[in-house]
Structures are given as C-alpha cells and as structure tokens.
Structure 1
Amino acid sequence: MRSKLAGIGLALALAIAPIAKTSAADLTIFHSWSNESEIKALNVFVKALKAKGNTIKELAVPHEQSGAGGPIVSLVIAGTPPNIFLTGNADVYRDIRDRGLGQTVGEYFDKIGATPNFPAAVQEAIKVDGEVRKIPLGIHIDGMVYYNMKIAKAAGVDPTQWKSADDMFADMDKVKAAGYNFIGVGGNTFQAGYLFHALMAAVAGPEVYKKFYNVSDGGKPDPSVFEEKGLRDAIEMFRKITAQADEGWTNRQWNETTNTVISGKTLMQFHGDWMKGQWKANNKVLGEDFNCINWPGTKAVAVTVDAMGILGGAPVSKDQLAAEFDMASIAVDPANNGQFAAYKGSTPVRVDAPEDKLDACNKLVLSNLAKDNSSVLNPFYISDSDWINSIWNTMFTFQGDRNMTTDDVIAMLKGEYESIFN
C-alpha cells in the first residue's frame, strides 16, 4: 500500500511564509473552509479561544487544494506544523502521530465529562486505531436531499411522498415542464466523490459499502465487491443524477450549486447536509423556504463528524498545549457546539446540546443515527487515502465522459485497486 499524504501540497506548504517561532498561547490553525456558514461557525470557537488571551494565526487552503489533508502533513515536514488542524482523515492523524507530534484527547474528554454525551457514531468517528485523537465539531449526513419548497409547490410535486428513487424520478418531467432544473449538480472531484459514497450507502447498503471502503491496518477492501449488484446500482444512479447537470455545472463548487436551489432555478440538491448552513446564511426558513429528506428508499446514511486535531510533542510549549486543550473544551461545550451547529448546518455532537438549537433536519439526522445498521462512517475514517482519491478521480471522469459505461467504471476501479493494494 502506498501513501501520497506527505507529498500532497508540499509545494503549497513551502510557499507559505515561514511562521515565526511561537510564544506561549500563540497558535496557528489550519482549515479548508471558505463559505459564509463555515467561517461563521468556526469563529464561534476561534473567538472564544481569543477571549482567553490567546492569539491565533489562520492558515486557510481551498477545499480542493486541501484534498485528503496532505497540506497539513506537508506543513509538518516543512517544520511549520499548525497547532490546530481541521480534518477527519485518519491517515493525517496517523502520520502526525508517527512523527511524534500527535496528541490524544480521550482522557481529557473523560475528565471534563464530555465522553458520555457523545452519540455512539461520534465516539467511533473520533478514534484513530482505538485512541481518541479527534475533537468532534459537528455531525453531518453526507447525502441528504434539500429542496426548495416553493419550486415543489409550483411544479405540483411533494418530495415527502417519495418512497423510492423511482417515485422521485417519476416527478422529473413535471419539474422540468414548470421551467426548473430537477437536481443541482456541481463539478469537482470532491462533489463526485461524496455523491458516490452517499449513493453507496443509500443505494448499495451498509454491507456493500463496507466491502468497498473498509481497510484495516495493512489490509485492503474486499475484492468481491466488484461483483456486487449494489455497486453497479450505485454507479448507475450516479449517472442518472449527474445526467441532470445544467450548462453551468463545470467547476461549480457545492455552495454555488446550493445557491441555484436557493435562488429558485433548481428543485433540489443531493449532497452533505452542510447545505443547511448556506440556506440559513441566505435568511431562508426551514419549513417555509426549504425542507430536507433522506434519499428516497435509503438503506443507510454516510456520516461525517467534522473534527479538529491538536499538536503535541517537542515543538509545543506547556502554555500552547494548555491553550490547545482550551480549544478542545470550547469546541465540545454544549452551548458553543450548539451555536456552531446552528451556523454550520450540522447537528451538535452532544446529546445534551440546547434543545432550541435542534431543528427538524437535526432531528432527522439523530433519528437516522438511532436506527440499527442504518449508518456508515465517512470513507476517510475507515479507508485508505489513495483508494479514496482514486475513487474520486474515477467518478469525476465518469461524470464528464458520457461515453463511459458502468463496466468501464468497474474496470477502472479494479485497475486502481490492483495498483494500490497489490
């Protein structure tokens, strides 16, 4: 198995001006968030940490350049490691840990009484090889349907009545006849990758999903997955969705795609439920302007737990480490976390978060998590970064090439599998 994490974004890391030697409680934070809802949410934590007398320098990299989190490792290699870094990718935490710069946080969460208040899915997602190394920020479902209620009414359709994907697509002609796009589609590898793993959960189901993505330490996915009907079904549904792309889809970011739904051009978008933050940033009201539903007939949902890590080891002073743990405490504080979720569009990571921060979409997320065998973890928590990147590139290639078939996709995935694992 090969790893590209250390190499991804190295040029970017070296291009960043060297960070001056830090003093006590003088911290750097790395993230790849950029839209209004993300920044507003992150600032809930940053402002609270600054209020304690700390100074924070932000290193922000666009999401597409951040990729699998490689620039974080590149900054470590360049001798300019960030004190706080936002990523859920287990490989990043392993790499930093193996360089003697990792920091566990599980014992601290136990001490402050946070651990029992994390849902089971959160407790699992923040572990790396059995150790809690991630600070959970918010819960997301990687594939939910968010739709414009006014367009639905104008087109004479009711998404809450869709029991299957067939029901959903049966209404497509009505929506188009009313003058609207049916499904919003964006144009980069991130969106293609997330759309596909959301469909692997919803359409193929949890068992096929795990065969396709699960990689234990030194292991590889189950190659019998390439013969699974569920894999073919997910690929074919991916094609059916991306075939609805309008003329502006190429290079369009996810939030710009969301804006086509918000502005009344498109009925809906199937993407991560961080879309809600974009709706709220545009002063739209849940239940009046927009609504959320699971993929019709969904078999399982893929779960992302936004997370951050903190630096340990020799480069970190005693005061810096104390400030880093302050950030951990701030992030999982029920009130702070509830406010973060309200801005970000996520669901709080604590079951004791203020009730007034839970809306109907949050309750839908929590109901999904409460069902047995109906949720799976984001691939970055359970898989191999090279395999994930290969899947992203394959599906984005498929999205842009109308001549590719399902058999072509499976053949390409098999080739990538052989290159990575054999």
Structure 2
Amino acid sequence: MGNITKIAAAAIGLAAVLSASAGEVEVLHYWTSGGEAKSVAELKKMMQAKGHTWRDFAVAGGGGDSAMTVLKSRVISGNPPSAAQTKGPAIQEWAAEGVLANMDPVAKAEKWDEVLPKVVGDIMKYKGSYVAAPVNVHRVNWLWGSSEALKKAGVATMPKNWDEFFADADKLKAAGLIPVAHGGQNWQDFTTFETVVLGTGGAKFYQDALVRLDNKALTSDTMKKSLETFRRIKAYTDPSAPGRDWNLATAMLIQGKAGFQFMGDWAKGEFLAAGKQPGKDFQCAAAPGTANAFTFNVDSFIFFKLKDASARKAQADLAGSIMSPAFQEVFNLNKGSIPVRSGVSMDKFDDCAKLSAKDFAETAKSGSLVPSIAHGMAVPPAIEGAIKDAVSQFWNDDKITVADAMKQIAAAAKTK
C-alpha cells in the first residue's frame, strides 16, 4: 500500500486547504454496495475538486469485520491508512493503543460539543478528547416494505406491533410471496434480534440487556419472549437466505418478490439507487413496537498520528469537512442516513429521513436513543462477537431451545 508516512493526508470537501500542498489521502472504508458506493464517490469528487488524489482502500463486507482485520494488520506493521472507518467502543480501543491523533483543536474551533448529541459526542472521544469525526446517523430499527408485494397480499398499512406483523406475514405467504427478506450473515441475524428485543421489551429493557449486559435482564421472561418472537420470524424467510448479502435481500423487496425486511436505513440507499420512491414504491416504518425508540449506528472516521506537519494540517481540514453542514447534507442524501450534527436543513430529504431526524431529536431528549449492539455501538467488540455468534447459532439451529439460547447469550455477555 506504499509508505503512508510519505502520503500527505488530504482535506476532503469544503474546508480551505491553505498551507497543505495537494496530496494523496488513503481512506479505509467498507462502503461497497450501490447506495454506499455513491456516497464514497461524493467524498472522492469533493476531494478532487480541491486538487487532491483519493486513494480508495475499500474492503467489502457490509458489517465491516473484514475491514477491521485488514486495518489491524496495517497498524501492527506500522503502515496505517490516513483515516479509517471505525465506530463505537472500537474507537476507544484504538485510542488506548496510542495510535490516534487528538482532534480537539478542530472540534473546539467548530463547536462539535454544541452540534452533537452528548450520547454521540462521548463515543467520539477518548479521555475527554475527540479522536474521531462522525459522518451520519443510521436508524437500525426500521421495517421496510415492498409496496408491490404488500398490495398483492392485501396488506394496507405497515404493522405497528408483533401481532399485526405476523398476520401480515401470513397474508404474504398465502399470496405466494416471501414474507421476510433476510440474508444469512451473523450481523444480519443480530440486527433482527436487537430490533425484536427493543420491540418486545422497550428502550429501558434494551439498555439493561444489550448495553449494560445485566444478567437479570438477559435471563428474564422478556428475553425469553424476545427469543420466541425472533425464532418465529425465521419461519417466514426463504431457504436461500444463508450466505445472502443484505443488499441482495433489499433487492428482493425492490423486485416485489418479498414483503418485509428488518434492516437499518442504509437499505433506503439501495431503493433510491434503484430509482424507487418512498411512500410509492417502498414503505418505511419503525419496526413493530419500536415507534418511540431509536437504535443508532453512527459511521465515523478515526485519524491516525502523522509525522508530517502539512499532513496534520490536511487531516484537520478533512475532519472539519466531514462535519460541515454542506458535506453532511450531500453525503446523507446519498447514503440513506441523516446528518449527525444539528443545523443541517432537512428540506431535500425524503419522508423516511424526516421521520428519522424527528425521532432522533425526540429520543435524544427522552432517553430512548440507544446504541446498536449489532453495529458496534454498544459493547466492546469481543463481547459483541460472542453474543452475535450465540444469536446466530440459535437462528440457524432449530434444535437449540430458547432456554439454552438464553444461557449461551448470558455466558457470552461475560466474555473478557
């Protein structure tokens, strides 16, 4: 990948690059599907407009697991990229290794503390100092619907609770359609699971069980009910689900072959990239039982320590650009997510995004804004991985009882 110390990290977007010479920036990310790739193209275009060269370091795999493996090997060998897409507790883990740059000067100059919700700002910091810049907010607890499939099955409105959901799933099945589009990757199983827990127990229970990892919550009747509901959903997926990527599951809705999908709002980027319109071709609604809660997934970039002064200046400009209102608008319009900072106009955004932004602001005040465990926001990666494996084993093996699954999840929560 070349000697990173010779590469001047370049500013992307709108921040003026006055003292830094034009250079090359290498950015590690895992945005490789249609809607995501379009967003990356915007970053590249903005950087090129400033005369810089974008070096794409894309690692496929929607959950980012592969990207993190590659990043670790690069950092261990003393050859990190200029910036890398990382999030949640993993930010603090990288910072604890002493390899990240302190971004407080730009954060203070541009008042990040004032424009970010505290729950998000705290995740971007290590020992009180910013080491990462957030790009967006994804709501994870969405249920997507194919207008074509739902109409064919006689489903008039999106289900608000689990009883309505299963009644609608039966209608889709009777119409010869696949009720739930799902992909067989463990993070997709985990995404559905956390949404079921939120919809069954509410935000406080979710916080106790999947953020605080309280053993009482993890072995409770509410968790038992969550696992029963989760297993019931599996019966409405198709036999070809194992190994399917999430965007191919979304494509099943776009093609009218399946009715519903549990997935974060990056799925909306796929609908939009296919020329589909919200409210007309596809439906968005908070997943059953989760209308007053919000599981968030914030994409962010960590910045590595650089020796060259001009590279450090460019790096600060890059951080400022990522957080600028203009960049947040254009990036999130493409990505299907919403701006993470306040002060960005939502006029150009669609109704799904406007609902997401409204709920994001309201849940931040009410305490129902909770981090997604399935998307690296809630617990350290080792614990997340252990619980994710237990959840997927239960999803994929009907012989595992609910009681045994509960024990396995509770044991995984104690992973060191």
TM-score, normalisation: structure 2: 0.88
Is 1:111 aligned with 2:102?
Answer: no
Q: Is the 8 A contact 2:60 2:67 kept in 1?
A: no
Name the SS of the counterpart of 2:6 in structure 1: coil
Among 290, 294, 305, the alignment partner of 2:298 is: 305
**1:374-416 per-position Cα deviation (integer Å, ceiling 9, x unaligned):** 2201233331211100111111111211211211211222333
Match of 2:400 in 1: 404
Q: How far is the alpha carbon of 1:236 from its aligned partner?
A: 1.8
Matches of 1:124 and 1:237, distance apart in 2:
33
The reply on whether 1:42 has 2:36 as its aligned counterpart is no
Contact 2:4 2:81 (C-alpha < 8 Å) held by counterparts = no
Aligned counterparts of 1:280 and 1:403: Cα–Cα separation in 2? 40
1:146 equivalent in structure 2:
144
Q: Which amino acid aligns with 2:220?
A: E
Q: Counterpart in 2 of 1:240?
A: 232
Q: Give the Å deviation of 1:133.
A: 2.3
Q: What is the aligned partner in structure 2 of residue 381 from structure 1?
A: 377
Q: Specify which of 365, 371, 391 is matched with residue 356 of structure 2.
A: 365
Q: Confirm or deny: 8 A CA contact 1:338 1:348 kept in the other structure.
A: yes
Structure 1 distance, partners of 2:344, 2:206, is 31
- Map of 1:274-313 to 2, 5 A cutoff? 274-298=266-290, 300-312=293-305
Is 1:224 aligned to 2:216, yes or no? yes
* Secondary structure at the counterpart of residue 81 of structure 2: coil
The change in CA–CA distance for 1:293 and 1:121 in structure 2 (over 3 A counts) is farther
C-alpha spacing 1:171/1:98, structure 2 compared with 1 (3 Å): closer
1:272 aligns with 2:264: yes
Give the 5 Å matches for 1:22-171: 22-24=6-8, 25-63=23-61, 66=65, 69-91=68-90, 93-160=91-158, 162-171=159-168
Q: Cα 1:382–1:104, aligned 2, differ >3 Å: closer, same or farther?
A: farther
Aligned counterparts of 1:184 and 1:192: Cα–Cα separation in 2: 12
Identity in percent? 27
Q: Distance in 2 between matches of 1:240 and 1:79?
A: 48
Q: Deviations over 1:308-344 (max 9, x none)?
A: 11112xx431111222222212212212211111111
What are the Cα deviations for residues 138-191 of structure 1, in whole angstroms up to 9, with x where unaligned? 11111201111122222211234x331101211222222222111111101111
CA distance in 2, matches of 1:367, 1:270: 20
Contact 1:302–1:378 (CA under 8 A) maintained in structure 2: yes
Q: 2:193 corresponds to which residue?
A: 196
Which one of the candidate residues 341, 349, 354 is aligned to 2:345? 354
The verdict on how the C-alpha distance between 1:377 and 1:308 changes in structure 2, with shifts beyond 3 A counting, is same
Please, what is the CA RMSD of the aligned residues?
Answer: 2.2
Letter in 1 for 2:378: I
Give the conservation status (yes or no) of the 8 Å contact 2:85–2:300: yes
CA contact (8 A) 1:335 1:354 kept: no
In 1, the alpha carbon distance for the partners of 2:101 and 2:165 equals: 46
| Contact 1:68-1:89 at 8 Å conserved across structures | no
Q: Secondary structure of the residue that 1:75 maps to in structure 2?
A: helix
User: Which shifted more, 60-69 or 269-278?
Assistant: 60-69
Shift of 1:123: 2.8
- For the structure 1 residues 226 and 112, does the alpha-carbon distance in structure 2 shift closer, same or farther, using more than 3 Å as the test? closer
Cα distance in 1 for residues equivalent to 2:304 and 2:335: 24
8 Å contact from structure 1 (residues 155, 178) kept in 2: yes
> Which residues of 2 match residues 387-398 of structure 1 at below 5 A?
387-398=383-394
Bigger Cα displacement from structure 2, 290-299 vs 19-28: 19-28
- One-letter amino acid of the structure 1 residue matched with residue 275 of structure 2: N
**Partners of 1:141 and 1:20 in 2: CA distance:** 34
Corresponding position of 2:255: 263
Shift of residue 90, structure 1, vs aligned partner: 2.2
Q: What's the counterpart of residue 175 of structure 1?
A: 172
Distance 1:270 1:36 in 2: 19
Q: Partner residue of 1:317?
A: 308
Matched residue, 1:337:
328
Native 8 Å contact 2:387 2:413 kept in 1: no
Aligned-pair CA distance for 1:204: 2.2
Uncovered stretches (5+) of structure 2, i.e. residues with no partner: 9-22
Change (3 A) 1:297 1:381: closer
After superposition, what is the alpha-carbon deviation per residue over 1:22-81, rounded to whole angstroms, capped at 9, x for unaligned?
A: 243432211122101111112222322233233332222222572583432321101111
For residues 104-134 of structure 1, the C-alpha deviation after alignment (integer angstroms, 9 at most, x for no partner) is 3344133124542334553344334543322
The alignment covers a number of residue pairs equal to: 395
Gap change, CA 1:199 and 1:294, over 3 Å in 2? same
For residues 88 and 123 of structure 2, what CA distance do their matches in structure 1 show?
Answer: 10
Conservation of the 8 A alpha-carbon contact between 1:90 and 1:128:
no
Matched letter for residue 189 of structure 1: N
Whole-Å separation in 1 of the counterparts to 2:56 and 2:80: 12
The residue type paired with residue 402 of structure 1 is D
Relative to structure 1, the CA distance from residue 361 to residue 35 in structure 2 (aligned partners, 3 Å threshold; closer, same or farther) is: same
1:228 deviation in Å? 1.9
Assess, with a 3 A threshold, how the Cα gap between structure 1 residues 121 and 96 changes in structure 2: closer, same or farther: closer
Distance in 1 (CA, whole Å) between partners of 2:214 and 2:405 is 17
Counterpart Cα distance in 1 of 2:402 and 2:387: 14
